[in-house]
């Protein structure tokens, strides 16, 4: 009887571990596919010479798609929406990458930003997974930092102050690095059970981290 009781006590823990492992596998599998799809749409935008997308249109499309994803996260439509969302962001990144590629050392700038993004993501995710630390305590700091980036970014659309953009990029690297730790920790500690929503969070952190590093790398590689 005692053995049966001990086994019953252990089963919930074992099921929780299996569910967490499944969540992690599904998340990283979908994340890999969305990053590849974004790379394809970005490459299409670059090779076709696509014009930059109006930032306000981008914001409306992004917010609308995120709202739809939140409402339909448990339905069939969540996966098509994820690929639309990540494909759209990849396409909008194309003209920005084209701008840096046109610089004298543009290939090196883009490659450096891309490599730094990959190294930072792998390092931060590995640390969160291996250490099993709970980074939920960072939520307040990350929310404030994210709001500051959004407000400052919108203001700088009109102000176009290079120093402000550099500051936004530096703060952005810190905030989106923290969000990678935070979202990875949520997978481990049960903060989010829907792998689609975890994927979207991690994708946005990687995308924005790359954009911030691209701007910083370009700024510090400039001869001006």
**pLDDT tens, 12-30?**
577 777 778 888 899 999 9
Mean pLDDT calculated for residue range 141-167 = 88
**pLDDT tens, 110-123?**
999 999 999 999 99
Residues recorded for the chain: 224
- Write down the H helix ranges in the chain: 2-47, 55-71, 78-101, 106-131, 139-159, 162-189, 195-221
pLDDT of residue 84: 95
The backbone torsions φ and ψ at residue 19, rounded to the nearest 5 degrees and listed phi first, read -65, -40
Q: Is the pLDDT of residue 36 over 80?
A: yes
- For the chain, what is the mean pLDDT? 88
Mean pLDDT calculated for residue range 104-109 = 91
| pTM of the full structure | 0.89
Neighbour-count burial for 93-105, b at 16+ CB within 10 Å, e otherwise: bbbbbbebeeeeb
Q: Which of 10-14, 49-53, 93-97, 160-164 has the highest mean pLDDT?
A: 93-97
Give the pLDDT band of residue 73 (cuts 50, 70, 90): confident
Is residue 175 classed exposed, middle or buried when 0-12, 13-18 and 19+ CB atoms within 10 A define those classes? buried
Mean pLDDT calculated for residue range 167-182 = 94
Decide if 41 contacts 91 (C-beta within 8 A): yes
Domain ranges, ordered by start, for the chain: 20-221
Give the pLDDT band of residue 45 (cuts 50, 70, 90): very high
pLDDT of residue 9: 44
The CA distance from 215 to 82, in Å, is 26
pLDDT of residue 222: 63
Share of the chain above pLDDT 90, in %: 60
Q: Is the pLDDT of residue 5 over 50?
A: no
pLDDT of residue 10: 44
Give the pLDDT band of residue 219 (cuts 50, 70, 90): confident
Who's near 46: CB < 8 A, 6+ residues apart? 94, 95, 97, 98, 101
């Amino acid at each position: 009887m005692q053995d049966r009781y001990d086994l019953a006590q252990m089963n919930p823990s074992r099921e929780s571990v299996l569910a967490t492992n499944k969540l992690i596998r599904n998340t990283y599998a979908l994340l890999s596919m969305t990053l590849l799809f974004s790379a394809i749409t970005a490459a299409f935008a670059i090779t076709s010479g696509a014009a930059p997308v109006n930032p306000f249109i981008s914001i409306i499309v992004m917010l609308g798609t995120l709202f739809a994803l939140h409402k339909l996260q448990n339905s069939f439509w969540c996966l098509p929406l994820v690929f639309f969302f990540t494909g759209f962001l990849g396409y909008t990144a194309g003209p920005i990458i084209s701008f840096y590629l046109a610089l004298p050392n543009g290939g090196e700038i883009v490659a450096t930003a891309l490599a730094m993004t990959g190294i930072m993501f792998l390092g931060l995710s590995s640390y969160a997974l291996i250490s099993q630390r709970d980074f939920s305590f960072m939520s307040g700091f990350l929310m404030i930092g994210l709001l500051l980036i959004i407000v400052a970014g919108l203001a700088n659309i009109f102000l176009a102050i290079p120093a402000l953009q550099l500051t936004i990029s530096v703060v952005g690297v810190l905030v989106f690095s923290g969000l990678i730790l935070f979202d990875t920790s949520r997978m481990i500690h049960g903060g989010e059970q829907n792998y689609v929503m975890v994927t979207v969070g991690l994708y946005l952190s990687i995308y924005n981290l790359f954009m911030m590093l691209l701007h910083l790398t370009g700024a510090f590689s400039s001869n001006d």
